[in-house]
Chains A and B, each alone.
Chain A
Amino acid sequence: MNIIVCIKQVPETTEVRINPETNTLMREGVKSIINPFDMYAIEEAVRLKERFGGKVSVVTMGPPQADNALREAISIGADEGYLVCDRAFAGSDTWATSYTLAGAIKKIGSFDLIICGKQASDGDTAQVGPGISTHLDIPQVTYVKKVEEATDKYMRVERMLEEGYEIIETPLPALLTVVKEINEPRIPSLKGLMRAKSAKIVILTQKELALDPQQIGLCGSPTQVVKIFTPKPRTGGQILSGEVPDIARQLVDLIKDEAI
C-alpha cells in the first residue's frame, strides 16, 4: 500500500501572535514542529505500511526549513520526503495550497491512500485535506478515528461525529483526515533518527510541477484576511431558580425581553 501523508510545519505554541499590520502569523523566534494532528497521520500511515507493506511518502509545502519536519517524519517510519518549495507558492491560502499539493502528489506518482491531520494547529481551517481530494477527484473521509478494515481495493473506517461515529466504506485511492483518537504516535528510534539525518529530501519547485500560475501563491488565493480579532469572552450566564412552572415562566419572559 503506497501512502502519501501531507504534513505542515507549525509554530510550537498555541499562543500564536499575529502581525497587526499584515494580519499574518509572526513566526520569528518560535520553534517549529510538525502540526500535532499530522503526527497521527504519519503514525497511521506507518502502521498501515507495517501491516500491508508498501511505502510512506511525506509531503509538505513550506520554506526550506520545513526540511526538518520531513526528516522527523522519516525518523518515525516514513520512507521518503518531498518538500514543495518555491517563492511562487508564497502567500497561498487553503485553495492554492491544496491545488499545489495535489499537483505535487500527481508528480510523486501512484498512491493508494492519502492521509492528512484533521486540521493545522495554527490556521485551524481543516480545508486543505478535503481540498486536495477535490483537486485529485478522489473520495474523502474526514475525522477518521479508526481504520476497521483495509485491502488494496477499499477501506472501512470509523468517522468521528460530535455524538457517536459513522462507519464509512470507501474505494481506494481515497483521502482520509484523522483525529487524535486514532492512535498514539511513536517515539523515534535511534536507527530512524540516523536514517532521517542522511535521507535525501526531494525538492519540488514550480519548475518541476508546472502548475497554472493563476492558481498558485498569493494571486491564486481567493481568501483575503481583512481583519483578525479576538471574540469577546462569553459572560457567565444566568441561573434561574424556583419551581419548574415558575422557571418556565421566567424563561419565557426573558426570551421575550432579551429577544434572544
Chain B
Amino acid sequence: MDYLLTEEQKMIKDLAHKIAEEKIRPVAAKYDISEEYPWEVLKVMAESDMFGLFIPEEYGGFANSVMNLCLATEEFSRACGGIAVCYAASALGTFPIVLFGTDEQKKKYLPDLAKGKKVAAFAITEPEAGSDASGIKTVAKKEGNHYVLNGLKHFITNGGDAETYVVIAMTDKTKGARGASAFIVEKGTPGFTFGKKEDKFGIRASSTRELIFTDCKIPAENLLAKEGMGFIVTMRTFDMSRPGVAAQALGIAQGALELAVKYVRERVQFGKPISTFQGIQWMLADMATEVEAARGLVYSTARMVDAGVKDVSKESAMAKMYASDVAMKVTVDALQLFGGYGYMKDYPIEKYVRDAKITQIYEGTNQVQRGIIALKLIKEMAK
C-alpha cells in the first residue's frame, strides 16, 4: 500500500532499511544469545543521524517527528525487535525533555541525545507499580537547592546503559497521582546505582535493569515541568511513544511475514512448494492484511501526533493494542508455516514470537489500552 510518504520520509525509511539489513540482521541471533547491549549497532544508527529523528532541529535533531521514529523503528524491528527497542526506548526517555523541558534543560541534554552520543531511558515502573502507577514508592524530597531521591525502579529498558534518565518519583505522597514529579537523573550521580539485570523471554539484545536510588542528591533544576506534574508528563510521553511501540510490533510482524513467504516458496512437500496449497495461501493472505491494517493505524496516529492534534490517547492506544496483537498472531502463524523447523532455534522465526510478546505488555498492557479506548468512547458519547 502506498502511504504517500514525503521524499524525506522515504529517505529515512530506506536508510533505516539499509541499516537493518546490513548491520542488524547479521547480528540479531548473536545478541539474542549473548544478551549484550548492541553498542556497535547503536553507533551505526548514531552516525546515520537516526537519533535525531525525534528531536527538534534547534537542539541538534531533524524534527520532533513521531512518524520519523515509527518509520525507523519499524524497519529496525523487521530485523530485530530487541535491537530496535534499544533505539525506541531512547526516544521514550527523550520525549519528556522534548515535551516539558525548559530551554536550558533542552540545550543541556538534547544535542548529545540527538547525536546518539548518549542514550536515554524512562523510569516509572516499580515492583508494586506497573499498570497502577499510583503505587509508586520512590520519593523525592526537596532539601534546599536539591531533591533527594530514595527508592527502586525496575524493568527499566536501557537501564544501566543509558546516560540520561527521566525518573518519576513522589514529591507529595498525600496527593496520590497529583503528588508525582518527573526528574532528569544522570548516570554517575552519587547514590544512583543499578541492580539486577533481567534474563528475558524476548528482546534479549535490550537491557532491562533495576535502578536504585539511595539518598541520591540531584540539583533542583533537574525537575521537569512542575512538582505534581509527573503523571501528566508520563501520559503525554506515552501518547507520543505508543505509536513507536506499535511500530516496533508492526516491524516484527512484517519481518516474520516476509520470512514466512520466503520459506513457503522454498519448502517442498508432496512434490511441490507448500506455497501452492490453499490452506497456506489463506493464512498468508490474512497475515498480510492484518499487518497492512496495523500499518494504516500506526501511520495515521503518528501523523496525528505530528500534526499537533491535542488528544491522541485513544488513537495511540488503538495503534499500540492492535499492532501488538497482530504481531503476536502473525509471528505465531509464521512459526506454524515453518512447521517443525520453526520451533528450532536454528531458524530465525521463533525469536520473532518471543520478541512480539512484550509489545502486548509494555507501555501499558493491552488490557489497559482497551480500558483507555473504552473510557474515551463512553466519555465521547456522554458529551
A residues touching B (Cβ–Cβ < 8 Å)?
Answer: 186-191, 193-194, 197
Asked whether any CB of chain A lies closer than 8 Å to the CB of B215, the reply is: no
Residues in A whose Cβ lies below 8 Å from that of B11: 190, 193-194, 197
Given contacts A189-B49, A191-B49, 4 further A-B contacts (CB under 8 A): A187-B15, A187-B23, A188-B48, A190-B62
Q: Name B's interface SS.
A: helix
A187 adjacent to B49 (CB under 8 Å): no
B47 adjacent to A193 (CB under 8 Å): no
A187 adjacent to B52 (CB under 8 Å): no
Asked whether any CB of chain A lies closer than 8 Å to the CB of B30, the reply is: no
Interface flags for B1-37 (1: CB within 8 Å of A; 0: not) read 0000001100110010011001100000000000000
Residues in A whose Cβ lies below 8 Å from that of B22: 187
Q: In the assembled complex, how far is the CB of residue A30 from the closest CB belonging to chain B, in whole angstroms?
A: 19
B47 adjacent to A190 (CB under 8 Å): no
Number of B interface residues in the complex (CB < 8 A) = 17
Complexed CA–CA distance, A187 and B49 (Å): 11
Asked whether any CB of chain A lies closer than 8 Å to the CB of B44, the reply is: yes
Interface flags for B47-66 (1: CB within 8 Å of A; 0: not) read 11110110000000010000
B62 adjacent to A187 (CB under 8 Å): no
B residues touching A (Cβ–Cβ < 8 Å)?
Answer: 7-8, 11-12, 15, 18-19, 22-23, 44, 47-50, 52-53, 62
Q: In the assembled complex, how far is the CB of residue B49 from the closest CB belonging to chain A, in whole angstroms?
A: 4
Which of B15, B18, B22 has the most chain A CB atoms inside 10 A of its CB?
B15
A190 adjacent to B12 (CB under 8 Å): yes
Complexed CA–CA distance, A136 and B49 (Å): 39
Residues in B whose Cβ lies below 8 Å from that of A187: 15, 18-19, 22-23, 44, 47-48
Q: Give me 27 A-to-B residue pairs in the complex whose CB atoms sit less than 8 angstroms apart, sorted by A's number.
A: A186-B47, A187-B15, A187-B18, A187-B19, A187-B22, A187-B44, A187-B47, A187-B48, A188-B15, A188-B18, A188-B48, A189-B47, A189-B48, A189-B49, A190-B11, A190-B12, A190-B49, A190-B52, A190-B53, A190-B62, A191-B49, A193-B11, A193-B15, A194-B8, A194-B11, A197-B7, A197-B11
5 closest pairs, A vs B, by CB? A190-B49, A189-B49, A189-B48, A187-B48, A193-B11
> Which of A190, A194, A197 makes the CB contact (< 8 A) with B48?
A190
> Closest chain B residue to A190 by CB distance?
B49
Which of A187, A189, A197 has the most chain B CB atoms inside 10 A of its CB?
A187
Complexed CA–CA distance, A197 and B8 (Å): 11
Complexed CA–CA distance, A187 and B52 (Å): 16
Residues in B whose Cβ lies below 8 Å from that of A191: 49
Residues in A whose Cβ lies below 8 Å from that of B47: 186-187, 189
Q: In the assembled complex, how far is the CB of residue A82 from the closest CB belonging to chain B, in whole angstroms?
A: 24
> Closest chain B residue to A75 by CB distance?
B15
Residues in A whose Cβ lies below 8 Å from that of B15: 187-188, 190, 193
Complexed CA–CA distance, A228 and B62 (Å): 52
Q: In the assembled complex, how far is the CB of residue B319 from the closest CB belonging to chain A, in whole angstroms?
A: 25
Complexed CA–CA distance, A186 and B47 (Å): 9
Q: In the assembled complex, how far is the CB of residue B113 from the closest CB belonging to chain A, in whole angstroms?
A: 16
> Closest chain A residue to B22 by CB distance?
A187
Residues in B whose Cβ lies below 8 Å from that of A190: 11-12, 15, 48-50, 52-53, 62
Complexed CA–CA distance, A186 and B44 (Å): 8
Residues in B whose Cβ lies below 8 Å from that of A197: 7, 11
Q: In the assembled complex, how far is the CB of residue A183 from the closest CB belonging to chain B, in whole angstroms?
A: 14
Residues in B whose Cβ lies below 8 Å from that of A193: 11, 15
Complexed CA–CA distance, A194 and B52 (Å): 14
Complexed CA–CA distance, A146 and B52 (Å): 33
Q: In the assembled complex, how far is the CB of residue A22 from the closest CB belonging to chain B, in whole angstroms?
A: 35
Q: In the assembled complex, how far is the CB of residue A107 from the closest CB belonging to chain B, in whole angstroms?
A: 32
Complexed CA–CA distance, A189 and B11 (Å): 10
Q: In the assembled complex, how far is the CB of residue A20 from the closest CB belonging to chain B, in whole angstroms?
A: 31
Residues in A whose Cβ lies below 8 Å from that of B7: 197
Q: In the assembled complex, how far is the CB of residue B42 from the closest CB belonging to chain A, in whole angstroms?
A: 13
Q: In the assembled complex, how far is the CB of residue A199 from the closest CB belonging to chain B, in whole angstroms?
A: 14
Residues in A whose Cβ lies below 8 Å from that of B18: 187-188
Q: In the assembled complex, how far is the CB of residue A182 from the closest CB belonging to chain B, in whole angstroms?
A: 18
Complexed CA–CA distance, A186 and B45 (Å): 11
Which of A190, A191, A194 has the most chain B CB atoms inside 10 A of its CB?
A190
Q: In the assembled complex, how far is the CB of residue A77 from the closest CB belonging to chain B, in whole angstroms?
A: 11
Complexed CA–CA distance, A187 and B40 (Å): 13
Q: In the assembled complex, how far is the CB of residue B13 from the closest CB belonging to chain A, in whole angstroms?
A: 11
Q: In the assembled complex, how far is the CB of residue B368 from the closest CB belonging to chain A, in whole angstroms?
A: 35
Complexed CA–CA distance, A193 and B10 (Å): 11
Complexed CA–CA distance, A197 and B10 (Å): 13
Complexed CA–CA distance, A91 and B335 (Å): 53
